[in-house]
Amino acid sequence: MRTDAGTGARRPREISYAQAVREALREELRRDPRVFLMGEDVGIYGGTFGVSAGLIEELGPDRILDTPISEAVLAGAAAGAALTGTRPIVEIPFSDFLSLALDQIGNQAAKMRYMFGGAVRVPLVVRSPAGSGTGAGAQHSQSQEAVFCHFPGLKVVVPSTPYDAKGLLKTAVRDDNPVVFLEQKLLYKETGPVPEEEYLVPFGKADVKRPGSDLTIVAWGRMVGMCLAAAERLESEGVSVEVLDPRTLVPLDTRAIVSSVAKTGRLLIVHEAVRTGGFGGEIAALVADSEAFPLLKAPIRRVAGFDIPVPYSPNLERNAVPTPERIEDAVRDLLVQGEKRPAGRTGSVRS
């Protein structure tokens, strides 16, 4: 906690998303000698985005391992280490290259506990920066969370705030199953309140970031902040938007999603990943197959990345994924279809 100089009131400290991840790593490495971090440039260089800076000086090269540039070897070695009783954390510097380790993660680590009848544990965390916005081009800017949701046995985590990033990562390290932990790159500099005392954020428990009554937005990762900003602007038009962050896509808090949609009667799903095959389609199907479906006042809508490689050009890159304008227009369109017109608005606006 910190003390406000003007009022003397105690307020929580604020740190960045990157600092929150680093704190989680440090605390778990100190807490459990079986935990170690391995990856490309995680040691001396401090991580591609500086997240692990200072850890090798503090904990030594036996706990912070710099590795060759081979994602397949990294993931395979970590899965084997997890089977022998250690608890590895692997950093892959860009999530795009998780495809090079897909056999080891999705076909080996994800299935071992099931295939051995629960006799083994695979406490493996694969951390990876994901998403667009850094001008890194088509091969370094994708959002591929839906790929990993398709492998039974994997848990998939996409935190949107520093608080969630720290609490969810600590939970991931203590889990006895493989976890894919995706950190969207543009969030690393975002700040927010993070307690100094120990805490965990449970898997499978969604968080309502903003309550509302007219429409539900389900979003994760970087899109949560964008949706919250859109909801705040729409409030001036008399629109009450509920923003729900699943935090973990596997396990998914289906009850929270269905309950929110049943309350508001409208659903907008927002994700940075391309629309086709994106996890938003799974959420739409979930609601369509639930008791919330008869209560819908308008069709379910998705705002997602366009089905194109992420462009290198900054302006094109910015518009290849959801924008505040597309989100707000989609909300207005859903309200018009549901016969609740925003103040001063007429007609339908297509996203």
Q: Write phi, then psi, for 148 (nearest 5 degrees).
A: -80, -25
Q: What is the bridge-based pairing of β-strands 10-11 and 2-3?
A: antiparallel
CB atoms within 10 A of CB 98: 24
Per the CB < 8 A criterion, the answer to whether 145 and 156 are in contact is yes
- Residue 296 Cα distances to 23, 215, 334, angstroms: 42, 10, 11
Structure tokens at 91: 């950093």
Chain centroid offset of residue 75 CA: 20
- Residue 213 Cα distances to 260, 261, 263, 287, 298, angstroms: 9, 9, 7, 17, 14
The residue count for the chain: 351
Could you give the 3-state DSSP secondary structure of residue 3?
A: strand
CB atoms within 10 A of CB 268: 26
Could you give the 3-state DSSP secondary structure of residue 94?
A: coil
150 is catalytic: no
Structure tokens at 27: 């605390």
Q: Kindly name the residue from 22, 87, 140, 271 that is annotated as catalytic.
A: 140
Q: Write phi, then psi, for 342 (nearest 5 degrees).
A: -60, 150
Could you give the 3-state DSSP secondary structure of residue 185?
A: helix
- Residue 166 Cα distances to 65, 171, 191, angstroms: 21, 9, 12
Is the bond preceding 61 in cis, omega lying within 30 degrees of 0?
no
CA 72 – CA 97 distance, rounded (Å): 9
| Active centre residues (catalytic) | 140
